[in-house]
Chain A
Amino acid sequence: MRTLEQTTQEVLDLASKHFNVPPGSLAPEDDFFKKLGIDSLQTLEMLSRLENHFGIELPDYEVQGVSDFRTLASRIQSRL
């Protein structure tokens, strides 16, 4: 079972890899919309990548209003 810290780090690594942001430049408290510069369709892409990576379903309404990596990771953690 992953810890929340591990999950958060995996979310950061995945975001960095797929949205062309230098590794290590993202922090848990960062606003991912601002940091990644993603729009609504790219948000869905991120959701798919997170679900595929963690092997979970993450309903859109659970991440609606979430904008920082740490909270996003906690939503994922509750479904692992």
Chain B
Amino acid sequence: MKSFSGKALHWEWREGVIELTLDREPANEIGLAMLEELEHFVAAFESLAPETSACILHSERKHGFSAGADLRELYHTAAQLQEKERLAGVRSFLERIHAVFNAIDAAPFTTIAAIHGVCFGGGFELALTCDIIVADKMGRFAFPELRLGLIPGFGGIPRLKRDLGNAFIRDLLLTGRSINATRAQSVGLVAQLAAEGEALRIARATAAQASKFDGATRAVAKKFIKPVPHEEFRREIDLFCGLFARPTVMAALKKFVESTDAMPYLP
């Protein structure tokens, strides 16, 4: 299959480059629909990989790349379940999302995230699976999970630790604040800064450049420089589930879902 069009995303393979477009109202929240289609997407890697040199992840939504996990869906689903089922459901979702993110992370082609607008929480974690992040000047990054009494659960902290200094991660994580693309570039998170609306064009130029290299060499280089921290992911899932078991999380989710605050991602 060289193209797919679903409810939350669509993708197309053309001349060795896959373009994955996130396209779910309002801001590409990652819930079950997005997860199922991302699973469909990575399932195609095996057949596409031999003739693929690069893959671009970007968003069709005006407000940004992704606002993160679908907290409304999470709250409404979890509220209907008993505690034991709730925790089993969360763990199952995390296992599935990690499998998808690890597949993107370890893909044998060059992966590029083209960011505009919000790139928060789980959306930020998706971007971090990519080899190269291109962001336009309106891009914003944040890990707001602590406001819910949680830590990022889609592999965000281990992946950020792989790339950046601990002090910067603590600032992001422990304040929940968002940073702009210029700041993100200054710390090494964003590889290339684009003018407003130009991230996808620059990502395409970068993909074209990546396509010039031998595929086998690229795969070896990537595996060498970008190890997937599986052990830390296991710990992260356990920590996340341990935190999720506390009643404060459901209370915080309820507050978020019912909030009309202009900055609901802050406590």
Contact = CB atoms under 8 A, between A and B. Distances in A.
A41 B27 contact: yes
Which range contains the number of A residues in contact with the other chain? Answer: 20 to 34
B206 interface: no
A5 interface: no
A57 B179 CA distance: 8
A41 B137 contact: no
Given A52-B182, A60-B178, A45 B263 contact: no
Given A40-B263, A48-B137, A57 B180 contact: yes
B71 interface: no
A57 B137 contact: no
Q: From DSSP, what is the main secondary structure of chain B's interface residues?
A: loop
A64 interface: yes
Interface in A41-73: 41-45, 47-49, 51-52, 57, 59-61, 63-64
Contact of B178 (A38, A44, A52): A44
A60 B172 CA distance: 11
The 6 closest A-B pairs by CB, nearest first: A41-B63, A59-B177, A43-B262, A60-B177, A48-B138, A51-B180
Given A45-B138, A48-B137, A40 B177 contact: no
B118 A52 contact: no
A64 B176 CA distance: 12
Interface of A: 33, 38-45, 47-49, 51-52, 57, 59-61, 63-64
Interface in B54-74: 63-64, 67
A25 B6 CA distance: 44
Contact of A48 (B26, B67, B180, B262): B180
A61 B118 contact: no
B262 A40 contact: yes
* Interface core residue of A49, A60, A63 (most chain B CB under 10 Å): A60
A48 B142 CA distance: 13
B214 interface: no
A77 B266 CA distance: 23
A18 B201 CA distance: 23
B50 interface: no
B156 interface: no
A43 B138 CA distance: 12
Given A48-B180, A52-B182, A39 B266 contact: no
B180 A59 contact: no
Given A41-B63, A41-B64, A60 B263 contact: yes
Contacts of A60: 142, 176-178, 263, 265-266
Given A48-B140, A61-B175, A41 B263 contact: no
Contacts of B177: 59-61
B197 to A, nearest CB: 13
B258 interface: no
B266 A61 contact: yes
Nearest to A63: B263
A47 B175 contact: no
A44 B117 CA distance: 8
